[in-house]
A = this chain, B = another copy of it.
Amino acid sequence: MTRTKKPPSLKDVSKLIGVSTATISNAFNRPDQLSKSLRERILLECQRIGYSGPSMIARSLRSGQSDVIAVMLSDSLTYSFSDPMATDFMAGITEVLAKANKQLLLLSSTVMSDAQVRAESLPDGFIFYGAPEGQSFNRVTRSGKPCIVVDFDAPDVSSVNIDNFSACKELAEHAIHGERDIPAIMGMRLIADNQVRPIEDKDLDHDKQEISWQRLFGYVAGAKSRGAEIPADNIIHMPVNVLEQAIDGARILLARTQRPNVILCMSDIIAIGACKVADELGLRVPEDLRITGFDDIAEAKRNQPALTTISQQGYEKGQLAATMLLENDTRQVMMEAKLVVRDSA
């Protein structure tokens, strides 16, 4: 990548027009500092010459402000662009940033290069999405730049989270009708195993903090309030949120003689996989088998049958995080995750 021409600088322009550099700068940044007619002449000349205004680099070196906001994703950018929750969240952020005339730099805490560390010096503020790897969070905190964390907590740092436990409890109470139901759970990243398989009693022992366990405990609490139990054997662990694993997991559950009639899935993708398997086996949803999702991605509504699920409100989360960052709002907000009742349960 080589540059061919070199664009004119403010200094070049000031010589050409015959006024000081300060005046050119003011023409762009402080219209009140010079006469209207002079300003218009300058702007017109700049257009003619091909000078499109002061460079952001020099400007931000001098003024200490770049008007760039960074989003630091805890997954690789490549993965994040394929994750509907992440892209929803980004969409919400960009709506707010566009209105505030801020630019977006996209970073990933999985990247540890010098180039990335350097890049962190550019933004005026940071939004961390998901608990980051490595030292990026520490560096940002140390820099004193404003920072909002989302989907995790850090002491004394502004944050946005959703209440997974309550939402899952409510969903389970909706989907499970009574003690004669046989509920099951299809969960993600519950244990450290890259096999799709049921978890074991001992896995349930500990008091885990991860989001997936908050959801699981919510399901179990909801089942309990309906008089139903969910044994470890009816809780399937999936390492990754993809259709193929969901299909494998659903086959395990639906091959049982004690076949579950309610499956609580920790993502919409998983629920879509469960629906596929139900269809294969000739089970009607929701008549023979009730299935619930989580996330409320766009596809949830398009699925046949449309999924009953929990809306994570990724878009709103993004809007809120960006607004809080720009307004120096230092709260730690817990958003509600909303039950969305459709056809599948």
Contacts and interface: CB of A to CB of B under 8 A. Distances in A.
B1 A146 contact: yes
Contacts of A58: 61
A57 B121 contact: yes
A124 B3 CA distance: 8
B119 A103 contact: yes
Given A61-B61, A77-B94, A105-B104, A122 B56 contact: yes
A84 to B, nearest CB: 9
Contacts of A54: 118
Interface residues of A, number: 79
Contact of A101 (B50, B115, B276): B115
A1 B125 contact: yes
Contacts of A142: 5, 7, 50
Contact of A113 (B64, B101, B116, B299): B101
Interface stretch (A85-93, A190-198, A254-262): A85-93
Contacts of A118: 53-56, 59, 67
A237 to B, nearest CB: 21
A1 to B, nearest CB: 5
Given A52-B121, A103-B119, A105-B106, 18 more contacts: A1-B125, A7-B142, A7-B143, A53-B117, A55-B61, A58-B61, A61-B61, A67-B115, A68-B119, A77-B98, A78-B92, A78-B94, A79-B91, A81-B90, A87-B87, A103-B116, A105-B105, A276-B302
